[in-house]
C-alpha cells in the first residue's frame, strides 16, 4: 500500500519545474516548495522575509501547471495584490507547494 502525505500526494512522487527566462528544468519531489526549485536552477532569488509571504520578492508568474500547485492562502493573495501581481497567474514561490504536475514559471523582476 502506498503511503500518502496529508495532502494526498504520494511520498517521493516526482515532478518537473521549468524556470524561465533561463529555460532550466529541474526534477523535484512533490510536496516541496516552489522556491527550492527556483534556487536549484541557480537563479538568484532574495528572500527577505524568510518565506513568510511578507516581502513579495519571490513573486513568479505560473505559465503552465498552476493547478498542480497548492492553493494560495489569504496572506499570499493579499501580498500579491499589494505588489500589483496578476492574481490568476501570480504566486509567491516561498508559499507554493509542488504537486504531481509539471510546472513552468517565469521569474518576475529578476
Give the tens place of pLDDT for each residue, 33-87: 999 999 999 998 877 888 889 899 999 999 999 998 999 999 999 999 999 877 7
pLDDT of residue 110: 58
pLDDT at 10: 56
Per-residue pLDDT band for 16 (boundaries 50, 70, 90) equals: very high
6 occurs within a structural domain? no
Q: Structural domain tally of the chain? A: 1
The percent of residues above 90 in pLDDT, for the chain, comes to: 65
Domain residue limits at 61: 14-107
Residue 18 to residue 37: CA distance in whole angstroms: 9
Residue 24 belongs to domain with CATH number: 3.10.20.30
59 located within any domain? yes
Q: Inform me whether the pLDDT recorded for 5 exceeds 60.
A: no
Sequence-distant (≥ 6) Cβ neighbours of residue 47 within 8 angstroms: 35, 55, 57, 58, 94
Amino acid at each position: 500500500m502506498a503511503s500518502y502525505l496529508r495532502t494526498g500526494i504520494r511520498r517521493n512522487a516526482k515532478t518537473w519545474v521549468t524556470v524561465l527566462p533561463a529555460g532550466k528544468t529541474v526534477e523535484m519531489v512533490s510536496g516541496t516548495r516552489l522556491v527550492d526549485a527556483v534556487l536549484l536552477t541557480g537563479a538568484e532569488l532574495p528572500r527577505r522575509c524568510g518565506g513568510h509571504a511578507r516581502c513579495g520578492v519571490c513573486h513568479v508568474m505560473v505559465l503552465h501547471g498552476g493547478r498542480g500547485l497548492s492553493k494560495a492562502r489569504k496572506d499570499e493573495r493579499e501580498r500579491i495584490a499589494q505588489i500589483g501581481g496578476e492574481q490568476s497567474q501570480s504566486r509567491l514561490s516561498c508559499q507554493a507547494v509542488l504537486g504531481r504536475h509539471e510546472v513552468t514559471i517565469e521569474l518576475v523582476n529578476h
